Amino acid sequence: MSKPNTRHLDKEIALTERKLEAVRNEEMWPLTGSERRQVLGALASGSYRTLRSKSTGRAERKLERVQESVLNRLTAELTALQKERGRIVAEAATAKAAKKSSGWW
């Protein structure tokens, strides 16, 4: 038997890792639509409060919460993809061992 075909999962894992790194660098492209709206809303309210010479604490906390939730979502996604890849590899190894043991010798 040949190696299990995990190319698709490997690509998804690499993409998710890139997304995680982008979120850590505070980039916007990996965010979903609702997360982008939350970030832009917090930035707008923080900008308004800055113009009025008031505290921006609430907006900063909201940005931190959004970033934390995105990191949690992407980490969970990455973990699920890695578990699925491991399951496929283990399944292929079990099938290969069963095929070898069922031979003449």
Q: For 54-72, write each residue's pLDDT tens digit.
A: 999 999 999 999 999 999 9
Q: Compute the chain's Rg from CA coordinates.
A: 22
Instruction: Give the pLDDT mean for 39-57.
Output: 94
Contact at 8 Å (CB) between 22 and 30?
Answer: yes
pLDDT tops 60 at residue 52: yes
Q: Is the dihedral of CA 34, 39, 44, 45 positive or negative?
A: positive
Structure tokens, 35: 């997360």
Contact at 8 Å (CB) between 49 and 60?
Answer: no
pLDDT tops 70 at residue 51: yes
Contact at 8 Å (CB) between 62 and 42?
Answer: yes
Instruction: Give the pLDDT mean for 6-10.
Output: 94
pLDDT tops 60 at residue 1: no
pLDDT tops 80 at residue 104: no
pLDDT tops 70 at residue 2: no
Of the pLDDT bands very low, low, confident and very high (cuts 50, 70, 90), residue 101 is: confident
DSSP track, 30-91: TS-HHHHHHHHHHHHHHHHHHHTT---HHHHHHHHHHHHHHHHHHHHHHHHHHHHHHHHHHH
Instruction: Give the pLDDT mean for 26-43.
Output: 96
